[in-house]
Amino acid sequence: MAQYVFAVDLGGTTVKLGLFDSEGNVLDKWEIVTRKENNGEKILPDIAKSIQDKAAEKSIAKEDILGVGIGVPGPVDSKGTIYKAANLGWDVFNVSETLGDLTGLPVKTGNDANVAALGEMWKGGGKGFNSIVAVTLGTGVGGGVIIEGKLVAGSTGAGGEIGHIHVEDNEKISCGCGKKGCLEQYASATGIARLANERLAQDDMPSVLRDADKIDAKAVFDAVKDGDRLAVEVAEIFGMYLGKGLAAVAAVVNPEAFVIGGGVSKAGDVLFEYIEKNYLKYAFHGTRNAKFCLATLGNDAGIYGAAKLILE
């Protein structure tokens, strides 16, 4: 008898959904709009309806559905309670219970970055490992910690918030979180652009970045690949902060591998030169064996991870 899992990746604009078989193969993928009006009260009913419609369309009986996994954009503890999701207008409530009541199905909920990490370990860049830390270098720096196949959600859903590890004592500018000197201020796409602009302003060293339309992480790492000296200096600073932060992470959970994703990771293997060398500079000897790999699932990591919440 075939069995199925529904996977949901809830974003601020769209909800990605996936239908999986019990082997973890994607049978279908689709999207619906995230309706945020009235504090997002329609979001979970919309998702429940979309799941029921799909089950009807595919003639899948309720008893053949193992459950629904969902990743949501906010801190979620291991019981499925979300501690506010400002982006959706949501306050504190139990997502697993609410969506469970709406669908009549078992539901498991995780934070979106954590769930994507689980996806990457299952079917992506972290495949073959059992304990990884996924590092998302995007607008901010996110993380997902997986130990022996299980997500570390954190007691109040803040597990894997590695972008807010303090790595610089002399920072003058505040991070979005209100603190000063967070990893995110240097290793995110935004942080890299800032490091580049600061370096450019420092003196007149020639650099292709001076003629770039836009100073962003892509421009910096393209310049690094072309051997641009100033861009290489920026990459070194980025690598120093990220290496320092990941060494701290390793001293806590000693993962087998770090899986690097997010927009910045599109730069590819060139990143590792700067991250690994600096990681080794700060890492405790017992954690030096950690591997570094690139995330490979892109925007699908969320639904893979959500399916895995049920199939684990």
Residue 110: how many CA atoms within 13 Å on its side-chain side?
A: 33
Interaction between residue 158 and its own copies (CB under 8 A): yes
Interaction between residue 161 and its own copies (CB under 8 A): yes
* Rounded distance between C-alpha atoms, residue 241 and residue 247, angstroms: 10
Near its own copies in 1-40, by CB under 8 A: none
Interaction between residue 169 and its own copies (CB under 8 A): yes
CB atoms < 10 A from the CB of 29, how many?
A: 13
Long-range CB contacts (< 8 A, 24+ apart) of 265-271?
265/137, 265/294, 265/295, 266/218, 267/217, 267/218, 267/221, 267/222, 267/224, 268/294, 269/294, 270/221, 270/224, 270/225, 270/235, 271/221, 271/239
Which is nearest to 111 in space by CA: 138, 146, 137? 146
Minimum CB separation from its own copies for residue 278, in Å? 11
Count of positions on this chain that bind its own copies (CB under 8 A): 49
x/- mask, its own copies, residues 230-259, rule CB under 8 A, reads --------------x--xxxxxxxxxx---
Minimum CB separation from its own copies for residue 184, in Å? 10
Nearest 10 degrees: CA dihedral of 266, 269, 271, 273?
-170
Interaction between residue 139 and its own copies (CB under 8 A): no
Minimum CB separation from its own copies for residue 36, in Å? 22
x/- mask, its own copies, residues 60-89, rule CB under 8 A, reads ---------------x--x----x------
Interaction between residue 126 and its own copies (CB under 8 A): no
* Interface residue list for its own copies (CB under 8 A): 75, 78, 83, 130-131, 133, 143, 145, 147-148, 150, 152-166, 169, 177-179, 182, 244, 247-256, 282, 284-287, 289-290
